[in-house]
Amino acid sequence: MRSGFAALASLALFASPAGAQESAREDSQRALKDGDPQQAIAILEKALSASPADADLLRRLAVAQAASGDLPLALATIDEALALAPRDNDIRLARARILLWSNQRDAARRQAEMVAAESPAYPELDQVLRSIDNAQAQGGPSRNRQGLGVFAGLSRIKLRSGVADTWESFGIDGFRQFGASTLSVSAIREQRARADTRIAVRLDRRLGGGSAYLEAAWTPSADFREEWGVSAGGAVPLGAKATALLDVRYAQYSDTTVGSIRPALRIAATPGLSLTGQAIVLLQKDTRAKAGASLRADALGPGASSLFLGAASYPDTEAGITREVRALYGGISVPISDRVTLRVSAEHERRSRTYTRDGAVLGLSWRFGG
């Protein structure tokens, strides 16, 4: 009797819409493996006639259409799937592949980097990025591989004595990608009682599923910033959802040197949310090591926007003097167009025995090329 009920349950499953969809997924995948994309398309189109809003079926249909050679139709189908499920990383990566096959290498990279920004160890992400790198290396220079950003910030300061002041900051940065490497240059000018301008050059490099960077910075006639400094670090995937990070820094002030070690762990809690916990150990000349920590959450917002929120308690050095800092911060990034992104952030900071600061920053970034 039980076997009869089991058979009836199995029959009911495959007679239901969910059962038919699952069967279509398996049959279409088998057809693609057998080298028959037209059969896969027929199977998926039939399933979609009963479930037109199934984003995963649309993704599979787009892949089958691409395998058949109809890339424009595949791109239209994957865009329809992405509109239904804008946070689905499988759909994003499928779209990146279709864009790459359509010789839209930079658009493919941007799509893949959206996945990398939130889930750097997501399955098959590294494979997609390597394919894009190889295509760009073989195809020579491509467009949309450089960018420029500008920002302005304003902070209201209340000193421990009760005196209030206003600080201003302005910055500009640019980057250029060379295959798996990115070279960037930035200049940030901060106006307090005196002004410091910090200039930095940074090289980032993707290595397998991870990444590494090296940065050098210089502040001419420094007042409160470091005179010069170097930093290096990287990220190593520990699995599908975890990434280990490490930053090591060294800075020279007029009368002291400061180093720091910052190990961190990033967890992809959900497809649209990642959490990063960081330990901060500061080593200063002739003083004992001091430690702190930070916690940050990054999430996808509506459309292609993203937002972050964090809190930190850590030792920090200004003008060669180290104080304990407690801070709350957050921000949002909103694409205005395919090439322009607006960024807004705010921060509340309390520096022990020194001042309290409330600040906001507004920035715009552009990507250039065709």
Outline which parts of the chain fall under CATH 2.40.160.40: 146-368
| pLDDT at site 221 | 93
- 104 phi and psi angles, rounded to 5 deg: -105, 70
**Token reading at 304:** 């292609």
Between 104-108, 138-142, 247-251, the lowest mean confidence (pLDDT) is in 138-142
- Arithmetic mean of pLDDT, 332-358: 91
Q: Is 167 left (phi over 0), alpha (psi -120 to 50) or beta?
A: beta
CATH architecture of 146-368: Beta Barrel (2.40)
In what helix (H) or strand (E) does residue 234 lie, and over which residues does it extend? Answer: strand 228-237
Question: What architecture (CATH level 2) is domain 2-139?
Answer: Alpha Horseshoe (1.25)
Residue 353 is given by DSSP the state T
Full 3-state SS string of 204-220: EEEECCEEEEEEEEECC
Structure tokens at 199: 């200039």
Output the pLDDT for position 140.
46
Confidence class for position 6, pLDDT limits 50, 70, 90: very low
Question: Given this model, what pLDDT does residue 139 score?
Answer: 55
The pTM (predicted TM-score) of the whole model is 0.67
Q: Are 248 and 232 in contact (CB under 8 A)?
A: yes
Mean pLDDT of 141-157: 82
Per-residue model confidence as pLDDT tens digits over 247-287:
999 999 988 999 999 999 998 777 668 899 999 999 987 78
Output the average pLDDT for the chain: 85
> What's the burial of 52, exposed, middle or buried (CB within 10 Å: 0-12/13-18/19+)?
exposed
State the average pLDDT over residues 224-231.
95
Residue range 319-338, pLDDT digits in tens: 888 999 999 999 998 888 76
The segment(s) of the chain belonging to CATH 1.25.40.10 are: 2-139
pLDDT at 19: 65
